[in-house]
């Protein structure tokens, strides 16, 4: 749970997106480890709480049947 500065060079045109909401990550990102031990990179500190909420929502009834449509 800390801010990490980006170490990209000025001519690096690669794009990084927030692991939680998908926003573009510029200059620095919020790094945290979720319940499963996965290190996440987020665009803002509040996304840590959002990630936990989203994870909880995925456990709700109905979500599994919706995702089972994907192949
Ligand atoms: Zn984000």
DSSP conformation letters of 10-35: TT-----B-TTT-PBP-SEEEEEE-T
Distance 29 CA to ligand 1 centre (A): 9
pLDDT band at 68 (very low <50, low <70, confident <90, very high): low
Identify residues whose C-beta is under 5 A from ligand 1, the ion.
Answer: 18, 20-21, 23, 42-43, 47
What's the number of CA atoms in the CB half-sphere (13 Å) around residue 54? Answer: 10
pLDDT digits (tens, 9 = 90+) for 15-27: 999 999 999 999 9
pLDDT digits (tens, 9 = 90+) for 24-57: 999 999 999 998 899 999 999 999 999 999 988 8
Mean pLDDT, rounded, for 55-69: 73
* Dihedral sign from CA coordinates of 26, 5, 3, 18: positive
For 19, counting Cβ atoms within 10 Å of its Cβ (0-12 exposed, 13-18 middle, 19+ buried), the class is buried
- Domains of the chain (ranges; CATH) run 2-67 (2.30.170)
17 touches 23 (CB < 8 A): yes
Distance 4 CA to ligand 1 centre (A): 14
Question: What's the confidence (pLDDT) of residue 3?
Answer: 97
Q: What pTM did the predictor assign?
A: 0.77
């Amino acid at each position: 749970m800390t801010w990490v500065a980006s170490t990209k060079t000025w001519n690096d045109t690669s794009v990084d997106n927030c692991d939680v909401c998908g926003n573009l990550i510029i200059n620095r990102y919020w790094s945290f480890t979720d319940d499963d031990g996965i290190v996440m990179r987020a665009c803002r500190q509040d996304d840590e709480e959002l990630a936990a909420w989203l994870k909880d929502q995925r456990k709700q009834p109905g979500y599994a049947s919706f995702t089972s449509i994907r192949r």
